[in-house]
A and B are shown apart, each in its own frame.
Chain A
Amino acid sequence: MAVRVLFRVLFGGTGLGSGPVVLDLPRVPLPDLVSGVTLLGPITAGSLLAGVYEGLRLAAVLVCVGAANCLADARRLLRAVPGALAEVSTAVVIALTSAPQLVDSVRRVRRARRLRAGSAEGVRALPAVLSPVLADALDRSLSLAGAMAVRGYGRTAGVPRRTRRASGALLVAGLLGTCLGLFGLLDPTAGAAAGVPVLLAGAALAVLGLRLASARVRRTAHRPDPWGGPEWAVSAVGATSAGAMALAAALDPAALAPSTAPPVWPEPSLLGLAAVLVAVLPAVLAPRRGGVSSPARPAGRASEGESSPARPAGAASPLRGGAS
C-alpha cells in the first residue's frame, strides 16, 4: 500500500484527479523522450486516495492467497486430483521435493568451491557451480526415474487406444470451451449471453474427458483424503461469500468502487460487508491440518508444515476478498 501511494506521489503529480491539492511539489522536468512520465508535481487528494484503494486491493489479494495457503495443504490437494491427472500431480510433487535438493546441491558446490579457492566471481563463476550441480541433478533424476519405474509407475490398465484418443479429444475440446466461455464472460463486448452456455458446455466436456481418462489409470490411494462436513462447509462459505459479493456489485456498483473524483467518504454496503464476514468462518470450520486420517502425529518431529497447529485466522474466499 505504502509503495503504491509513494508511486502516486512520485509519478502521479499530473494534477489529475480532483479535490484539493494536498501536496504541492515542484515538477521535475524530464526530457521529451519519456514524455508520458511525470516526476513529482502537485498531488491531489483524489489521486492519493486512488493509490490507497489500489494498494488495498493488492493487499486483499495477498491476504486471500495467504489464507488459502493456510487452509489447504498443496500436497493434499494434489492427492485429490482425478486419476487422469495423477501423472501431472506426481510431477508437481517431485518438483516440490527436488527444489530443496537442488538448493542443497548448489550450497554444497559453492562451499566446495572455496576449497579450491576459485577466484572467479559473478558470471565467470557460473560454470564452476553449474556444471557439478547439473551433473548432480541429472544423476538424481535418472535414479529417480529408475526407482519409479521399478515401483510400477506408469502402469496402464490396458485400455484400448480408441478410448484413450476419445478421452484426449474430449479433454482438449472441453478446455478450449471453458477458455472461450470465460473469455465471453469477462469481455463486456461479447455479452454474458454468449459466455455462460459455452463455459458450461466446455466444463461438461472436460469433466467427461477426465472421467474417461481416469479409467485408463489403475491406481489406488493409500490414505484417501476424506471429503467430509468441514470440507463441504469451507467450500460453501467460499461460494456464499463470492456470490454475495457479486450480487452486491451488481446491485450497487458505486458502493464497492467509491469515487475518487471527487473524493467521497466510502459508504459500506451491508451485503458486501456480510460477504466479507462470512469469509472469516473457515477459521473455525476448517479441518485440522495434517489430515484427519492420522490424528496421532508425534509432537517432536513434525515437519514445518505441520508444526503450526494454529488454525488459519484469515478468510478464504479466493475469488474476491473485499476490495472496498
Chain B
Amino acid sequence: MSVPAGRPARPPVAVRFDRVTLTYPGAPAPALRDVDLEVGEGELCLVAGPTGSGKSTLLGAVSGLVPHLTGGELAGEVVVVGVSTRGTPPRDLAHLVGHVGQDPVAGFVTDSVEDELAYAMEQLAVPAPAMRRRVEEVLDLLGVADLRDRPLRTLSGGQAQRVAIGSVLAAGPRVLVLDEPTSALDPGAAEEVLAALVRLVHDLAVTVVVAEHRLERVVQHADRVVLVGRDGRVRDGAPAAMMREHDGAPPVVELARAAGWDPPPLSVRDARRLAGPLAQALAGHEPPLPATPGRTGGPPLLRSRDVVVVHGTGAGRVRAVAGVDLDLHAGEVVALMGRNGSGKSSLLWAWQGSGPRARGEVGVLGDGAAMDSSVGRRRWWQRRPAAAAGGPGAAARGPTGDGRQDPGALPPAGARALVGLVPQTPGDLLYLPTVGQECAQADAESGRPRGTCRALLDEVAPGVPDERHPRDLSEGQRLALVLAVQLAATPRVVLLDEPTRGLDEEAKRRVGQVVRELAAQGRAVVLATHDVELVAAAADRVVVVAQGRVVADGPTAEVVASSPAFAPQTAKVLAPQPWLTPQQVRAALAAGPAPGAEPAGDRS
C-alpha cells in the first residue's frame, strides 16, 4: 500500500514490515494495522504522525522491544537485516539494531561517558582491544571526545542525547532507531544531534529510523517519510511527495503551498532559491504589526527587579539567574528563549514564588477579587517568606500603595492566585485517579464554585472525558488539564514552561491559539520555549536569556528575524523582509498585489 517512492533503484532492504498488525492487550483497536513497509539500507527514514498514533510502536517493532518487552500480539512479520523479530528477543538483536528512547538519560546504565559507550560491547563480549578502538571511534564520530570522563548526570541535553546514540552505536548496529531525539533540545543542540545522525547515514551507511514532531528540523535530511495515521495505518514515500498534502507540514512547505511551488522545497536553502518572485510580490506589503497593549500604557502586571537565583552550595554553586529586570504587561505574550540551562525555568519559578530566589524583587498586580485578606501578607518587598499566612499588615496594600504583592512572600494559595505556572512536566501536579476529581480538587483549592475548572478545561481542550485517568490522556490533553487547574485560581500572569514539548502539530497550533486567547482576556502570558515556530505564530515580544542574563528584549519580528538560531523558517526564506509565518504571507497574497502599507490580516 505504499505510495510509489519516486526513486528508480532501491538499495537493499534493511527493515521490512510484512503485513504487520499489532494489538496491545486490552486495547480496543490495533496500534498498527496492516503495515507494509520497506526501508532501504543507508536511508534516513522519518516517522511522523499525531501523538498516540503508534509511532513509538512502529519504532519498537523494529528493535524488537515490541512485543517482547511491552507485550501485545504481533501478526505479520518484521524482518531486520534478514532476522525476524518474532523469535529473537531484543538482546539478541543488539548487534543489528540500536534503539534510543525518548528520554536518553533514563536509559543510562553506568555513570561515566566512556563506560556507557562500552556497556553494549561488554554485553556482546567484544574483546577488550577492539572495544577500546571502537570507543575512540564513536567518541570522534559523535563529537563527544572531550566528554569521555564526565559523569553522565553532568551532561547537557544535547550531549546526553549524543552519548545515548553513541552507546547503542558502539555495538555496531546496521539500523539505528531514535524516538524524538530533538524534541527536548534547543535549536543549537538539535542541530548538533542531527549533524551527527546525518554523518552516520552518509559515512557509515547506517539505516536511521527516526520519529519526530519537529518536522522542520528533520524532513530536509530524510530519504523517506512514513506517516502513521490515528487508525494505525501507514503511508510512506519520498519526503516532498509526502509533505505535499500532510497536515502538519513544516512552515517552509506551507509557504510553498501559499506561493504555489510544486514539488515543495524541504529546506530553507531550497526555498530561498525559489523565493525571488514571492519576495517581489510581497515587496509592497507590511506584515501586521504585533499588538502590544502593554506598550500603550497601564502599569505592568509583573515587575521584576534584579532577580537572582542561585542553585547549589559550595563548589557546585551556580548562578542560574543573574539579575533580571523585566516588566510583563497585560495582554502580551512574551516568549522566553535561550539555550538549555540558560536560566529560563529558574526565572519562571522565581517569579511564581515557589522556586528559590536569592535576591531581587518581584511585584505582581493581582486581580482584586482574589485578594481578600485571608490570602496572606501584603508587603511585597519582603524577601523569602516566613510562610505564616495572614500577616497583620493585610489591611493595607503595601506602603508603596501600588497594590503589588510578592508571590514569594505569600503562602502557596496566594502566590497561585497571582501567578500560575505550568511546569515542564505537567504530570507532576496530577495525582488523583480521574480528570473529574482533579477538576473538583482544583476548585476546592482555589476556593471557586464547583465546575469552574471543568468549564475552563472545556474551553482549552473540549471533550476530555471526566472519568479518564490523567495518565491516559494525550500530552496535549494533560497540558490542557494542568493549565485549567492553574487558571482556576484566576492568576493574571500565566507562565508556561516548554508547553509544546512532545506535542504534535495540531496540539501545538491549539497551544498557540489558547495562549492568544489568554492574552486577549487581559493576562500576561510567558512561554519559555525552544519552539521558534510557536514563538513566531503566538508571541508579541521575545526575551532572549543567556547565562541568566537578558541579552535581547523586543518585538518578536525584531529579535527573532536577526538571530540565526531563533529565526523561524519563513523569516529565513524571506529575509531581509520581516515575515514570520506562512499565515502572514498567505494573508498578504490574498490581499492582492496592492502596493503600499496595507495591513494584511490577523496574525493568529
CB of A276, distance to nearest CB on chain B (Å):
35
A150 beta carbon closer than 8 Å to chain B: yes
CB of B588, distance to nearest CB on chain A (Å):
41
Interface residue from A117, A154, A294 paired with B412 (Cβ < 8 Å): A117
Stretch from B99-107, B532-540, B565-573 at the A interface = B99-107
Residues from chain A with a CB closer than 8 A to the CB of B92 are: 152, 155
Asked if A150 and B429 make an inter-chain contact with CB atoms under 8 angstroms apart, the answer reads: no
Which B178-201 residues sit within 8 Å CB-CB of chain A?
A: none
A148 beta carbon closer than 8 Å to chain B: yes
Asked if B355 and A111 make an inter-chain contact with CB atoms under 8 angstroms apart, the answer reads: yes
Asked if B445 and A132 make an inter-chain contact with CB atoms under 8 angstroms apart, the answer reads: no
CB of B112, distance to nearest CB on chain A (Å):
8
Q: How does the 8 Å CB contact mask read for A105-134 relative to B, with 1 for contact and 0 for none?
A: 000110111111111000000011101100
Asked if A115 and B97 make an inter-chain contact with CB atoms under 8 angstroms apart, the answer reads: no
Given known A-B contacts A116-B416, A301-B154, A150 and B65 have beta carbons under 8 A apart: yes
Residues from chain A with a CB closer than 8 A to the CB of B421 are: 115
Stretch from A191-199, A214-222, A265-273 at the B interface = A214-222
Which A126-162 residues sit within 8 Å CB-CB of chain B?
A: 127-129, 131-132, 135-136, 139-140, 142-155, 157
Interface residue from B65, B127, B128, B349 paired with A149 (Cβ < 8 Å): B65
Residues from chain B with a CB closer than 8 A to the CB of A143 are: 101-103, 106-107
Residues from chain B with a CB closer than 8 A to the CB of A128 are: 431
Inter-chain CA distance A112–B422, complex, in Å, is 9
Which B385-432 residues sit within 8 Å CB-CB of chain A?
A: 411-413, 415-416, 420-421, 423, 425, 427-431
Given known A-B contacts A93-B109, A150-B90, A222 and B99 have beta carbons under 8 A apart: no
Given known A-B contacts A219-B122, A220-B126, A301-B150, A147 and B109 have beta carbons under 8 A apart: yes
Q: How does the 8 Å CB contact mask read for A80-104 relative to B, with 1 for contact and 0 for none?
A: 0000000000100110110010000
Interface residue from B101, B120, B485 paired with A146 (Cβ < 8 Å): B101
Inter-chain CA distance A114–B428, complex, in Å, is 11
Which A243-301 residues sit within 8 Å CB-CB of chain B?
A: 294, 297-298, 301
CB of B25, distance to nearest CB on chain A (Å):
15
Which residue of chain A is the closest to B97 with respect to CB atoms? A150
Residues from chain B with a CB closer than 8 A to the CB of A35 are: none
B110 beta carbon closer than 8 Å to chain A: yes
Asked if B120 and A151 make an inter-chain contact with CB atoms under 8 angstroms apart, the answer reads: yes
Interface residue range, chain A: 35 or more
Interface residue from B94, B107, B132 paired with A222 (Cβ < 8 Å): B132
Q: How does the 8 Å CB contact mask read for B353-375 relative to A, with 1 for contact and 0 for none?
A: 01100000000000000000000
Asked if B442 and A112 make an inter-chain contact with CB atoms under 8 angstroms apart, the answer reads: no
A224 beta carbon closer than 8 Å to chain B: yes
CB of B140, distance to nearest CB on chain A (Å):
17
Which residue of chain B is the closest to A108 with respect to CB atoms? B428
Asked if A220 and B106 make an inter-chain contact with CB atoms under 8 angstroms apart, the answer reads: no
CB of B51, distance to nearest CB on chain A (Å):
16
Inter-chain CA distance A136–B103, complex, in Å, is 12
B480 beta carbon closer than 8 Å to chain A: no
Given known A-B contacts A132-B431, A151-B119, A218 and B125 have beta carbons under 8 A apart: yes
Asked if B109 and A132 make an inter-chain contact with CB atoms under 8 angstroms apart, the answer reads: no
CB of A57, distance to nearest CB on chain B (Å):
34
CB of A222, distance to nearest CB on chain B (Å):
3
Inter-chain CA distance A94–B119, complex, in Å, is 13
B149 beta carbon closer than 8 Å to chain A: yes
Given known A-B contacts A116-B442, A117-B445, A222-B115, A147 and B171 have beta carbons under 8 A apart: no
Which residue of chain A is the closest to B316 with respect to CB atoms? A304
Asked if A115 and B106 make an inter-chain contact with CB atoms under 8 angstroms apart, the answer reads: no
A27 beta carbon closer than 8 Å to chain B: no
Inter-chain CA distance A242–B220, complex, in Å, is 69
Asked if A149 and B69 make an inter-chain contact with CB atoms under 8 angstroms apart, the answer reads: yes
Interface residue from A129, A154, A222 paired with B131 (Cβ < 8 Å): A222
CB of A281, distance to nearest CB on chain B (Å):
30
| Chain A binding surface SS class | helix
Residues from chain A with a CB closer than 8 A to the CB of B332 are: none
Inter-chain CA distance A150–B431, complex, in Å, is 32
A75 beta carbon closer than 8 Å to chain B: yes
Asked if A297 and B149 make an inter-chain contact with CB atoms under 8 angstroms apart, the answer reads: yes
Asked if A152 and B154 make an inter-chain contact with CB atoms under 8 angstroms apart, the answer reads: no
Asked if A117 and B125 make an inter-chain contact with CB atoms under 8 angstroms apart, the answer reads: no
Residues from chain A with a CB closer than 8 A to the CB of B128 are: 220-222, 224
CB of B397, distance to nearest CB on chain A (Å):
22
Residues from chain A with a CB closer than 8 A to the CB of B127 are: 220
CB of B189, distance to nearest CB on chain A (Å):
18
Inter-chain CA distance A147–B154, complex, in Å, is 20
CB of B292, distance to nearest CB on chain A (Å):
28
Asked if A118 and B445 make an inter-chain contact with CB atoms under 8 angstroms apart, the answer reads: yes
Asked if A115 and B354 make an inter-chain contact with CB atoms under 8 angstroms apart, the answer reads: yes
Given known A-B contacts A111-B355, A116-B416, A155-B123, A127 and B431 have beta carbons under 8 A apart: yes
CB of A49, distance to nearest CB on chain B (Å):
42
Given known A-B contacts A115-B429, A116-B445, A146-B107, A152 and B94 have beta carbons under 8 A apart: yes
B581 beta carbon closer than 8 Å to chain A: no
B479 beta carbon closer than 8 Å to chain A: no
Given known A-B contacts A111-B355, A294-B149, A147 and B101 have beta carbons under 8 A apart: yes
B35 beta carbon closer than 8 Å to chain A: no
CB of B263, distance to nearest CB on chain A (Å):
36
Inter-chain CA distance A90–B315, complex, in Å, is 31
B111 beta carbon closer than 8 Å to chain A: yes
Which A198-231 residues sit within 8 Å CB-CB of chain B?
A: 218-224
Residues from chain B with a CB closer than 8 A to the CB of A100 are: 153
B118 beta carbon closer than 8 Å to chain A: yes
Residues from chain A with a CB closer than 8 A to the CB of B592 are: none
Residues from chain A with a CB closer than 8 A to the CB of B430 are: 132
Given known A-B contacts A116-B429, A143-B106, A221-B128, A149 and B485 have beta carbons under 8 A apart: no
Q: A112-B425, A113-B429 are in contact. List 19 more A-B contacts (CB 8 A).
A: A94-B109, A114-B354, A116-B416, A116-B429, A117-B411, A117-B415, A132-B431, A139-B106, A146-B90, A146-B107, A147-B107, A150-B90, A150-B99, A152-B95, A153-B109, A154-B91, A155-B124, A222-B131, A307-B315
Q: Give 19 pairs: A residue, B residue, CB < 8 Å, sorted on A.
A: A111-B354, A112-B425, A114-B354, A135-B427, A136-B427, A143-B106, A144-B107, A149-B65, A150-B65, A150-B91, A151-B171, A155-B92, A219-B125, A221-B128, A222-B114, A222-B122, A224-B128, A301-B150, A303-B151
Q: Name B's A-contacting residues (CB within 8 A).
A: 60, 63-65, 68-69, 89-95, 97-103, 106-112, 114-115, 118-128, 131-132, 135, 149-151, 153-154, 167-168, 171, 315, 349, 352, 354-355, 411-413, 415-416, 420-421, 423, 425, 427-431, 442, 445-446, 471, 485-486, 489
Q: Name A's B-contacting residues (CB within 8 A).
A: 75, 90, 93-94, 96-97, 100, 108-109, 111-119, 127-129, 131-132, 135-136, 139-140, 142-155, 157, 218-224, 294, 297-298, 301-303, 307
Closest 7 CB pairs of A and B: A147-B107, A222-B118, A152-B94, A152-B123, A117-B412, A151-B120, A112-B428
